[in-house]
């Protein structure tokens, strides 16, 4: 069936959805991945020959991450909770799916897609902005031209705390929903507005989980305007 969208809009949507979600990795040399979990993407990053800095806040998951990264000399990890403020205490909720849905925010409509996910405990963690994290660990930010976030609703806080660094990134990717998956979370429209206001445009957008009541989770990548 033919689309009823205006032709220009249809072409743009088809182009965005047709791009490989991680195709941009061919165009970068280094990645900062905030919300690492156990480093699931480490092999893919290695295939692209990338330098990678992983950031993971959960102590037990971080131990597994470091072990997983041992065979990859160009990849390193630091344990930290990246937010918009330095040294502020946060209640960080640990989820029962190996920590993959852990967040500083309460679960909300996330349950509509993954009803079995729940929090099992809470840790008190200190937040840190990305610029401060790099400075404290004597990491040169110029070595990384892509930022990837999987922080379960706090993506906007990460970006707000990293505004001084944004001009150096050519690509920024996030996992984000267009509904309130977590209470008060960053949603796709919020992220779009922030990125547009900081000189980025959408490069690709791929839905990967849909909500029966409407809405979806997306992998969305933004590219700095030329």
Give the chain's domains with CATH numbers.
22-82+130-172+186-207 (3.40.50.150)
pLDDT tens-digit profile of 191-215? 999 999 999 999 999 999 999 999 9
Over the chain, what is the mean pLDDT? 91
**CA separation, residue 67 to residues 47, 72, 80, 145, 206 (Å):** 19, 10, 17, 25, 31
Contact 222, 172 (CB under 8 A): yes
Q: What is the DSSP letter of 23?
A: G
Q: Which residues pair with 34 in a beta bridge?
A: 55, 149
pLDDT tens-digit profile of 107-142? 999 999 999 999 999 999 999 999 999 999 999 999
pLDDT tens-digit profile of 47-87? 999 999 999 999 999 999 999 999 999 999 999 999 999 99
Contact 215, 179 (CB under 8 A): yes
Helix (H, G, I), strand (E, B) or coil at 20: coil
């Amino acid at each position: 069936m033919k689309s009823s969208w205006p032709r220009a809009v249809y072409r743009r949507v088809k182009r965005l959805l047709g791009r490989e979600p991680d195709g941009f990795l061919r165009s970068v040399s280094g990645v900062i991945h905030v919300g690492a979990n156990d480093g699931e993407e480490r092999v893919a990053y290695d295939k692209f020959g990338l330098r990678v800095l992983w950031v993971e806040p959960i102590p037990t998951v971080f131990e597994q991450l470091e072990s997983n990264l041992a065979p990859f000399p160009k990849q390193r990890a630091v344990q930290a909770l990246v937010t918009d403020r330095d040294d502020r205490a946060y209640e960080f909720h640990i989820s029962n799916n190996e920590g993959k849905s852990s967040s500083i925010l309460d679960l909300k409509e996330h349950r509509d897609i993954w009803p079995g996910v729940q929090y099992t405990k809470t840790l008190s963690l200190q937040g840190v902005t990305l610029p401060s994290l790099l400075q404290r660990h004597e990491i040169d930010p110029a070595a990384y031209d892509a930022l990837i976030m999987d922080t379960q609703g706090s993506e906007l806080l990460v970006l707000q705390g990293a505004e001084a660094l944004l001009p150096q990134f050519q690509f920024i990717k996030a996992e984000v929903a267009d509904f309130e998956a977590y209470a008060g979370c960053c949603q796709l429209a919020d992220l779009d507005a922030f990125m547009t206001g900081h000189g980025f445009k959408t490069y690709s957008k791929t839905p990967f989980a849909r909500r029966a009541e409407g809405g979806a989770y997306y992998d969305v990548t933004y590219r700095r305007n030329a």
